[in-house]
Amino acid sequence: METLENTSWKHQQEMEDPLKKYLNSTEDYLTFLCGPRRSPLSLPVSVVYALIFVVGVVGNLLVCLVILRHQAMKTPTNYYLFSLAVSDLLVLLLGMPLEVYEMWHNYPFPFGPVGCYFKTALFETVCCASILSVTTVSVERYVAILHPFRAKLDSTRRRALRILAAVWGFSILFSLPITCTHGIQLRHFPNGSVVPGSAICVVITPMWIYNFIIQVTSFLFYILPMAVICVLYYLMGLRLKKDKSLEADEVAANIQRPSRKSVTRMLFVLVLVFAICWTPFHIDRLFFSFVEEWTESLAVVFNLVHVVSGVFFYLSSAVNPIIYNLLSRRFRAAFRNVSSSFCKKWHSQQHAQGSLTQRNLFLTECHLVDLTEDAGPQFLCQSSTGNSHLSTALCTAQVP
């Protein structure tokens, strides 16, 4: 009986040994449960993200300023582009810093349940708003090309603002299902106590619910809109190719000043780049939702797709202003106007600040010296009169 008990105890110890080696410290156990605290590609990905961040924030801010400051740029089409720029700014300013932080500190999640819900809702809202904005501007362009007189009557700024309000309202509404599947998860030791620093923002509902929502939203907010957009641009291409007198009719009807072909070409490139940049993102989501049994090779492929999808996702937020600058003369001229005004303002501020500094230097750098034994106390003042030389002035003052 004693031999049987010893044999059973030895077998139990052998089974527990793999776990015991991770229980030597909390950090080892967290690594065993959650993986490494820092992502292996955190440094190169952070460098790429930093470049995208600078280009994207500056470019999208210029787009917003151009549309807000120039009355001629306040067209219904540009309002949709303004909405797209705002969604890109939200991603870059709020989403990207949090993701970079999580790449360097995978756990614990520092912002609690509210931060977890906000992060999830932000990404889902922006995803919906971006594709709906692109779809809306494509429909608007389709109406302008195939039904120009109707577009002249129906396409107004007030109508565009109402549509954008509906777009953002629907986006927030449709972000709620995925947001509700997330929450803060805590890890526990074998004795049931909570592992310190183990809080992570993950899916806490049954995975089949999350996978179903991902598949439905990917269809409704990517596959279906992109199919509709492809059909619209195909029809627009046929119309522009067949109707050679379109530009003459446009001038006669006074519908739009810029060439329809150039505007349509710019928007077509915008949609094409949007589709290219967002395809890896949705492949990543669908990949995760359809795989039921993970193997090491599948995990390696998924991690690679995940990194690529993240880079392209943020790249889509930075590339739109570049497209506008390259393909739209009106945007290019407006960009130059805004940039030059900022440069002039900066130079004038620098000049005013420099003049004030010189005056302050002239007043403060005077110091009391004795030039001769007989002369009274005098001040020696040095003031800058050029870039590379100084002139000296004597300031005589009666000292009581």
pLDDT(361) > 70:
no
Specify the pLDDT at position 128: 92
pTM for the complete prediction?
0.72
| Confidence at 357, pLDDT banded by 50, 70, 90 | very low
**pLDDT computed for residue 244 by the predictor:** 57
Higher pLDDT, 227 or 150: 227
User: Per residue in 175-214, is it b (16+ CB within 10 Å) or e — as a string?
Assistant: bebbbbbbbbbebeeeeeeebebbbbbebeeeeeebbebb
Return the CATH number of the domain spanning residue range 21-327: 1.20.1070.10
More confident residue, 197 or 355: 197
Would you kindly state where each structural domain of the chain is located, as residue ranges? Answer: 21-327, 365-400
Q: Is 50 exceeded by the pLDDT of residue 108?
A: yes
- On the question of pLDDT at 232 being above 80, the answer is yes
Considering Cα of 202, then 204, then 206, then 209, what sign does the dihedral take?
negative
Torsion over CA of 301, 304, 310 and 316, rounded to 10 degrees?
Answer: -90
For residue 179 the two structure tokens come to 């947001």
Q: pLDDT grade, residue 346 (50/70/90)?
A: low
What's the number of CA atoms in the CB half-sphere (13 Å) around residue 319?
Answer: 18
Stronger pLDDT, 250 or 242, i.e. the higher one: 242
**pLDDT tens track for 364-387:** 443 333 333 333 333 333 333 333
CA–CA distance, 19 with 209 (Å, rounded to integer) = 31
CA dihedral 168, 169, 170, 172 (to 10 degrees): 80
Task: Give 299-312 pLDDT, tens digit per residue.
Answer: 888 888 988 998 99
Per-residue pLDDT, averaged over 328-346, amounts to: 74
**pLDDT winner (highest mean) among 69-73, 158-162, 250-254, 372-376:** 158-162
Hey, what are 378's tokens? 């005098």
